Amino acid sequence: MGSTSSLKASVVGLAMVDQARRQRGWTKTSTARWWQDAHTSRATLRRFWQGDRIQHDIFIALCQAVGLSQWEQIADSTAPPLEEALPKETALSQNIVYDLDEAPDVESFYGRYQELNLLTEWMVVDRCKLLTILGMGGVGKTALALALVDQLGNQGTKEQTSSTQFAPALPFECILWRSLQAAPTLHQLLDSLLYTFSMGQPMHTAHDVQIGRLQLLRYLQTRRCLLVLDGLEAILDSNNAYRSGYEEYGELFLRLSRDRHQSCLLVTSRERPPGFDGEGEKVRCLTLRGLSTAAALDLLQSRSFTGKEQGLQALTRLYGGNPLALKLTAPLIRDLFDGNVLAYLNQHTVMMGNRLRAMLQQQLRRLSALEWAIVYWLAIWQEPISLYRLQSHLLDVPDAAVLLESIVSLEERAFVEKLFLQAEPLLTLQPFVMKAVSESLVKQAAEELCQAIQTNQITHFQVIRTHCLLRPGTDNLAGNRLLTQLRDQLGPLAGSQLLRSLSRLLPLLQSQSPFAVGYAAHNFDALLRLLT
């Protein structure tokens, strides 16, 4: 088999390995467990995919780590010894500049092949300059970007195993990954990129940002480069504008989307960045939704489920196919319900876990006042409602165009789902999002009531005034979760003391105009009836 000290994979062998790693939900080079189990490095795993020769025992270990014990079927038995092989085709891939030190390791990656093909087409065929992957936290934006980098990074070899149909000889000469989670200034980002590009000394003066931007653009013009910026929401404020001191990022993105160059900037973000509203010939945006049912079932099978348990599809729908939500929920079901999915679903609740709850609350804090009003009403209805019904219950009715823009923004971030069950679309929240929104609604209502009771002032009422906690058209107090949760949230105030306090506030409501009172009187009446 040629040299006994080194081996390389054949075309057929790489296809077998590719199929095996997909079944495990592993990316080609970004799943740390793969190279760690083989006691080697990411760089060696990348050489394996490029068709290079690697050490004999490491080759075997890489095959065994992905579950292929018959490594002889993977190896290329016709390959010449290493000293005769100095192949020209790998010289190209060796010239690729890889800087993925800031790229995270991913545990698993399932499905998304349609999205991978679409992004690859945009990059390689359409030669787009600026691409954005948008989506809710935990939906897999970073994992998709990593899988894309894996796929493109391994297209520079003669032997192709990628699932994509687009396989140019060398799509990119350099691939760089930068994380924005630590919110680096543009000065720091340019300094880091130019250092990697060997374009000169690091910048030291306040005037170097403009010069650095021009140097970066010049490099992107002379070489075809893929630059990934992961987690752009870290440099945005609660109003979805660039944070103070980060405004220059907007100018950089504008220049990269308009100026002449042959490279591509890929951005991941939970929020659509300012200036990314329009899409053109060279600017595209992909909104990432939850996993398909098949991909979600593959993920759950990797979490100690057999795939034959009843209720797995319902569990997937409950969490909107969100990979992180499913990964965090699976061990809870395994430990608390001994893996019985139906027993969990019969509880008619949504377990969140601290990590998932914190992730959702962080993103919910970025909603505008109108967006909060919309999701609160959807949480109150607990079922899909029409746009007309939503409009008819908004106390402070906005301009129709503004309302529609807010709904589009919520849908883009996967908070709001649009269903077509009737002639007009119906709006609702994903179940686990509805859980988080309901918790926020109850918490805010409780805080407003406590403040009003302490100060004997109803000016504190906001959500109590603008939203009816008892779903319109129903009188089922005992079955109303929001009211019962509000009662429980009030804690020590519940009981006779709360009754007296609410009764003391009633005259204040009666002295106000109907618009100023809003839904507050109705909420008081429902809460009083629940307490008596």
How far apart CA 190 and CA 197 sit, in angstroms, is 10
Lowest mean pLDDT segment, chosen from 206-210, 305-309, 438-442, 447-451: 206-210
Burial of 479 (0-12, 13-18, 19+ CB in 10 A): exposed
pLDDT score at 2: 42
How far apart CA 313 and CA 487 sit, in angstroms, is 34
How far apart CA 259 and CA 261 sit, in angstroms, is 6
Instruction: Tell me if the domain spanning 367-429 has CATH number 1.10.10.10.
Output: yes
Instruction: Tell me if the domain spanning 91-287 has CATH number 3.40.50.300.
Output: yes
Residues 463 and 447: beta-carbon distance below 8 Å: no
Interacting residues of 290 by C-beta distance below 8 A, sequence separation 6+:
139, 296, 316, 319, 320, 321, 322, 323, 414
DSSP run (H or E) holding 416: strand 416-419
CA distances from 223 to 174, 357, 382 (A): 8, 43, 53
Interacting residues of 52 by C-beta distance below 8 A, sequence separation 6+:
8, 90
How far apart CA 27 and CA 37 sit, in angstroms, is 15
Instruction: Tell me if the domain spanning 1-86 has CATH number 1.10.274.10.
Output: no
- Torsions phi, psi for 502 (to 5 deg): -65, -40
Average pLDDT over residues 110-132: 91
CA quadruple 330, 299, 284, 218: dihedral, nearest 10: 100
pLDDT score at 494: 58
pLDDT score at 82: 42
Residue range 74-116, pLDDT digits in tens: 888 775 544 443 333 333 344 567 788 888 887 778 888 899 9
Residues 460 and 452: beta-carbon distance below 8 Å: yes
Mean pLDDT of the chain, nearest integer: 83
Residue range 399-434, pLDDT digits in tens: 888 999 899 889 888 888 888 877 788 999 988 899
Stronger pLDDT, 480 or 310, i.e. the higher one: 310
Q: Nearest CA to 217 among 265, 176, 283, 250? A: 265
Centroid of chain to Cα 180: 14
pLDDT score at 88: 35
pLDDT score at 206: 44
Residue range 90-101, pLDDT digits in tens: 333 445 677 888
Could you list the beta-strand ranges (E) of 38-171.
54-55, 97-99, 130-134
Can you give the pTM of this predicted structure?
0.79
Residues 66 and 24: beta-carbon distance below 8 Å: yes
- Domain positions in the chain are 1-86, 91-287, 293-360, 367-429, 434-531
Phi-psi region of 2 (alpha: psi -120 to 50; beta: other; left: phi over 0): left
